[in-house]
């Protein structure tokens, strides 16, 4: 719309029109043909990936996409029911916050062996001498996100492409020191640990990073952090070992609002990183006892549309005099806003395309139900109200 009015826009912004038309045609084809196929969810109605938004994709990207699609068809989509069953079993056993469904690690190992790993990351050689990532553009990876979005609770993690790790790995790759990369980025790229990003706060509009109030005070040998965060996605995962905290540097100088924020790397086992825990009527020790051994706990899991999303979770976290070394700063004092823009930009593309994949999947499921479910001696699809919607 902006480009039609001559406002400042990218030269490629007009290509969005082609994208809208393409998805309208796709939705219409799903509605008319009823393309839901439980054995091969992605084959019939996916967008033709050879050209997307008027931009041709490279032969390498097409090869990766084809391999990704085949693996999703053969292994990921059929494993959805297993994943759901394993989650339910862990919840019934009171261990939903302590363990990850075994199918996740099984599929991760298979995907990694096929090279379907860290697809979002631009190729980078880390201090361990290993090169990670792929040579995909944002457009090319966007199509991969659409495909993974069709099984959003499982597929992204299977390929080590799940948020918030993706954003954290990107900024560690771009802004981290060699030591920070060795300690955190290497195990993240290997899929051995997980991480979270602590920016949003309860009492301010945290979509504007300049509002963040968590205090970061520099002392002689480190930084001391005090503040409260909430809806911190991934903090509940038992494999989470790193928190990237966005906080306001305490300073006597008058600084620009965009130079007051910093990002600090906080190990989740940092002494004095103290949180209290309550979770419904289940005893605290049964859920979080193992974390208390390393003096780290989490305040409470928040809910999204009634779900706690265990073991990933979206948690409320409090920092009280948490002290970390000076080497824990990312890029430098007051550079947090700059890093946030680099982190959140690609993430928006990833989320949007996964949402499109989910929408396509939902559409197919609705059409399948309408064309197989009978009520009042007719298919739901033959009901004028259903057909019109």
List pLDDT tens digits, range 33-54. Answer: 654 444 434 444 455 666 665 6
Strand 314-325 vs strand 300-301: parallel, antiparallel, or unpaired? antiparallel
DSSP sequence for 29-67: HHHHH----TT-TTTTTS--TTEETTEEPPHHHHHHHHH
pLDDT at 275 over 80: no
> Phi/psi zone of residue 383: left (φ > 0), alpha (ψ -120 to 50 degrees), beta?
beta
- For the segment 275-297, the average pLDDT, to the nearest whole number, is 36
231 vs 120: CA distance, rounded Å = 24
- pLDDT of the residue at 178: 97
Q: pLDDT (tens digit, 9 = 90+) per residue, 206-238?
A: 888 889 999 999 998 999 999 999 999 999 999
Please name each of the domains of the chain with its CATH number. 9-192+335-389 (1.10.540.10), 193-330 (2.40.110.10)
Q: pTM for the complete prediction?
A: 0.82
pLDDT at 304 over 70: yes
* Residue ranges with strand state E in the chain: 51-52, 55-56, 124-125, 131-132, 194-198, 215-219, 222-233, 240-249, 261-267, 300-301, 314-325, 374-375, 378-379
Token pair belonging to 48: 């033709």
> Whole-number mean pLDDT of the chain?
84
Please name the residue ranges forming H helices in 149-209: 155-158, 165-175, 178-180, 186-190
- pLDDT of the residue at 214: 94
- For the segment 366-380, the average pLDDT, to the nearest whole number, is 93
Percent of the chain with pLDDT strictly greater than 70: 79
Q: What are the backbone dihedrals phi and psi of residue 232, each rounded to the nearest 5 degrees, phi first?
A: -90, 100
- pLDDT of the residue at 271: 56
- For the segment 313-317, the average pLDDT, to the nearest whole number, is 93
Q: Is the separation of the CB atoms in 236 and 298 below 8 Å?
A: yes
Q: Is the separation of the CB atoms in 126 and 190 below 8 Å?
A: no
Which one, of 264, 192, 182, 252, lies nearest residue 223 by Cα?
A: 264
- pLDDT of the residue at 35: 45
- For the segment 101-115, the average pLDDT, to the nearest whole number, is 98
């Amino acid at each position: 719309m902006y480009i039609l009015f001559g406002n400042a826009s990218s030269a490629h912004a007009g290509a969005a029109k082609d994208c809208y038309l393409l998805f309208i045609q796709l939705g219409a084809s799903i509605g008319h043909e009823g393309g839901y196929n439980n054995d091969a969810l992605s084959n019939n109605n996916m967008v033709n990936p050879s050209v997307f938004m008027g931009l041709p994709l490279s032969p390498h990207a097409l090869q990766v996409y084809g391999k990704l699609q085949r693996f999703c068809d053969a292994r990921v989509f059929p494993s959805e029911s297993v994943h759901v069953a394993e989650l339910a079993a862990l919840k019934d056993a009171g261990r939903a916050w302590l363990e990850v469904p075994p199918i996740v690690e099984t599929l991760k190992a298979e995907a990694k062996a096929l090279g379907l790993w860290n697809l979002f990351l631009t190729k980078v050689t880390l201090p361990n001498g290993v090169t990670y990532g792929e040579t995909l553009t944002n457009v090319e990876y966007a199509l991969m996100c659409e495909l993974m979005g069709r099984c959003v609770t499982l597929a992204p993690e299977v390929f080590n492409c799940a948020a918030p790790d993706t954003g954290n790995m990107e900024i560690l790759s771009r802004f981290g020191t060699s030591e920070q990369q060795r300690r955190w980025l290497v195990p993240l790229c290997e899929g051995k640990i997980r991480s979270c990003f602590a920016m949003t706060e309860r009492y301010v509009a945290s979509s504007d990073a300049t509002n963040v109030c968590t205090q970061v005070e520099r002392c002689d040998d480190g930084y001391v952090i005090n503040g409260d965060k909430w809806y911190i996605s991934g903090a509940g995962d038992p494999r989470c070992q790193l928190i990237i905290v966005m906080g306001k540097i305490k300073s006597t100088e008058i600084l620009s609002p965009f130079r007051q924020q910093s990002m600090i790397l906080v190990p989740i086992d940092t002494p004095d990183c103290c949180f209290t825990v309550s979770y419904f009527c289940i005893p605290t020790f049964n859920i979080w006892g193992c974390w208390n051994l390393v003096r780290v706990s989490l305040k409470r899991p928040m809910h999204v549309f009634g779900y706690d999303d265990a073991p990933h979770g979206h948690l409320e976290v409090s920092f009280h005099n948490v002290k970390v070394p000076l080497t824990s700063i990312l890029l430098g004092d007051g550079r947090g806003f700059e890093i946030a823009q680099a982190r959140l930009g690609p993430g928006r593309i990833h989320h949007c395309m996964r949402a499109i994949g989910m929408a396509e999947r939902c559409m197919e499921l609705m059409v399948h139900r309408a064309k197989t479910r009978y009520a009042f001696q007719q298919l739901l699809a033959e009901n004028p109200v259903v057909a019109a919607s």
